[in-house]
Chain A
């Protein structure tokens, strides 16, 4: 950070016992840890974008275009691993969760500040291991991010190291979850009852439970892959009496709930932004808070819907299909409540709100296409096609990705004391939104027409739509570049941002900008709910 910026910024940026880089990587201040997470996840996001961009470029025409088939396999594997484990799972909870959660509760830090720092270190170490695995051993893994056996047990690429890196990342995720649950239970300010907790923090509470209860299963599963490769245990090898479908069960017992680790915090961000920019209390506060828990609970019982074509019993397919549809109910509750909040509100269309609004639309498209995948009959038609890829991007990128940028535009000025420019933010948003739909909607159509996912080559009749999707990726990337550049530039050089310009009623808007090291000069006493704008003394 340049010197003049540091001068302009007070608060936790300046106040420190150590100096230089040590004041960051050994800091137990939740805001500094959140910032470190933010920079890491954003960097990995950009790496993932580049890889995704290359995959799309390869698919612009049938046959070899820019890379070989083996490189293509490595590209989509690394894109998946980086985006899933390094960006989207820690994305909002670890970065914005750390920045915002303790302040929203009226606490001075999380319950275990040193464990919090340990989580970040584990994240950094895990990320380094994953990155090292790309360039050492037999080369970058080529299994897909799911590491399916038997291929992952046999391929000569560097799967063991990559899988071990993901194991370490899982440990980081578990510790963050434990920390947040304990913080929410033990560190609330006087008057911060359960029904006064801001919805972002509520969503992090639900997320934390999923992190704690699901991640250990992926940990043991990944250890099994490593032992399978090193010791040859044969537990997933049919020749030795093992069962590869057991791997899929264990993998998805974690990885489906992990989808809710990814999306729930995004929903929380939206639940905080919509009422502020509509100048209206949120509609159905309790239902939104409760639906987060309902999604976390129901979402943990639907992993089998990834396996309709694996040879699972018909009864299993039926049960998993039914449970999958149940998740739609709490998700729809949220969408209806956000829309109802805006009804007759005084809506102000600034950058955070635009990202929040596009979240609702894109997430709804993603959710509805999810119903097509949840019903066994239609799923068998589109299984492992580009339809699934498109659906997943609508939920994860259209959902969580847009929520991530909504959160960045909403909260970051608070932590920097400076803000981005509004116009480039809106231009960038338009490009992202248009490019996104051109790219991923086309991919869903491609999938309906039968183009499989993960294939290096395709039939000539898919060419036209693939060109459209690739052009969409260019527009999308242009939008991302503008948004990130504008945020970066604005936060270091932009107009001063003080007071409470958005008019939020949650606690983070009641303290100095940027927040001081210990957040509160004196412990706050909470007397009103997070969305009661009237009579709460909002400037």
Chain B
């Protein structure tokens, strides 16, 4: 294949491969989760009840909506609707910010109750509970970092769309960033039932 022409299929192939590595990264945490779940099923159940279902459910809806906006922005740019694309991307970024804000409220409430890694309360409690919350903070923290990275990427693409560098003919970057965003959403879809809805 010649060097000059842009290979958007190749770019998407590369992105999919990268997304596999992201799934495997989270897969490591989920392996730990499954091992410790079989070891401490009761403590995991009790731990799950201490998480706030309203916060979790709201965040699930927020992220799903953001993914919808992201997917629509790809269609919009392919139709050449620049303003609509920018609006939808802003919607995604807005949802990301709302998600992070809710996460902040949730974490600070837990901190307030003395539940955080290595806290005296967790050390005094049963080991399974400590493991559950360690995994909870690890997984949601790692996911939160991905939300932040995704938000930065979304902002960057929005600037490129604004400048006309991404348009109806050449939009594979937007498509790839959207794919990344769907992964962030997908991971949350696993986190929510595993931690909030367990038992």
Binding site for A on B (CB under 8 A): 1-3, 7, 9-11, 13-14, 17-18, 20-22, 24-29, 31-32, 35-36, 39-40, 117-118, 123, 126-128, 130-131, 134-135, 137-138, 142
Contacts and interface: CB of A to CB of B under 8 A. Distances in A.
A241 B10 contact: no
Contacts of A111: 7, 10, 14
B1 A235 contact: no
A212 B118 CA distance: 34
B8 to A, nearest CB: 11
Given A182-B10, A235-B32, A220 B117 contact: no
Given A227-B117, A250-B32, A523-B2, 14 more contacts: A181-B17, A182-B17, A187-B10, A188-B1, A213-B21, A220-B29, A224-B138, A232-B117, A232-B118, A235-B32, A240-B131, A241-B128, A241-B131, A246-B32
A212 B17 contact: yes
Q: Please indicate which of the listed interface residues A109, A112, A217, A233 has the most CB atoms of chain B within 10 Å of its own CB.
A: A233
Binding site secondary structure of chain A: helix
B82 to A, nearest CB: 26
A216 interface: yes
B130 A240 contact: yes
Contact of B28 (A178, A213, A217, A242): A217
Nearest to A217: B28
Contacts of A217: 24-25, 27-28
A227 B11 CA distance: 34
A216 B13 contact: no
Nearest to A241: B127
Interface of A: 107-109, 111-112, 115, 174, 177-179, 181-182, 185-188, 212-213, 215-217, 219-221, 223-224, 227, 231-235, 239-243, 246, 250, 518, 523
Nearest to B3: A108
B13 A182 contact: yes
B21 A212 contact: yes
A216 B35 contact: no
A186 B127 contact: no
Contacts of B7: 111, 186
Contact of A241 (B24, B40, B137, B138): B40
B20 A212 contact: yes
A243 B35 contact: yes
A241 B17 contact: no
B130 A241 contact: yes
Nearest to B141: A227
Nearest to B25: A216
Contacts of A224: 28, 138
Given A241-B127, A250-B28, A182 B21 contact: no
Given A174-B21, A217-B28, A227-B138, A518 B14 contact: no
Nearest to B28: A220
27 contacts: A107-B1, A109-B3, A111-B10, A112-B11, A115-B14, A174-B18, A182-B13, A185-B13, A186-B1, A187-B1, A187-B10, A216-B25, A216-B28, A217-B24, A219-B25, A220-B25, A220-B26, A220-B28, A231-B137, A232-B118, A234-B117, A235-B131, A235-B134, A241-B126, A242-B131, A243-B35, A246-B32
Given A231-B117, A233-B118, A246 B134 contact: no
A232 B116 CA distance: 10
Nearest to B18: A178
A235 B36 CA distance: 9
A113 to B, nearest CB: 9
B10 to A, nearest CB: 4
Nearest to B131: A241
A458 B130 CA distance: 42
Contacts of A188: 1
B9 A186 contact: yes
B99 to A, nearest CB: 22
A213 B131 contact: no
Contacts of A227: 117, 138
Contacts of B17: 177-178, 181-182, 212
A177 B17 CA distance: 9
Contacts of A182: 10, 13-14, 17
Nearest to B9: A186
B68 to A, nearest CB: 28
A109 B10 CA distance: 13
Given A215-B21, A216-B25, A217-B27, A234 B10 contact: no
Greatest chain A CB density within 10 A among B2, B24, B117 is at B24
A224 B31 CA distance: 13
Contacts of B18: 174, 178
Given A235-B131, A240-B123, A213 B24 contact: yes
Contacts of A243: 35-36, 39
Contacts of A112: 11, 14
User: Which A-B residue pairs are the 6 nearest by beta carbons?
Assistant: A241-B127, A220-B28, A232-B118, A216-B24, A233-B134, A186-B10
Contacts of A219: 25, 28
Nearest to A171: B21
A374 to B, nearest CB: 24
Contacts of B126: 241
A240 B122 CA distance: 9
A243 B26 CA distance: 19
B130 to A, nearest CB: 5
Given A108-B2, A221-B28, A523-B2, A235 B35 contact: no
Contacts of B39: 241, 243
B13 A234 contact: no
A77 to B, nearest CB: 24
A233 B24 CA distance: 21
A217 B131 CA distance: 20
Contact of B135 (A187, A235, A250, A523): A235
A246 to B, nearest CB: 6
B20 A213 contact: yes
B37 to A, nearest CB: 12
Nearest to B12: A182
A234 B123 CA distance: 10
A165 B9 CA distance: 33
Nearest to B10: A186
Contacts of B134: 233-235
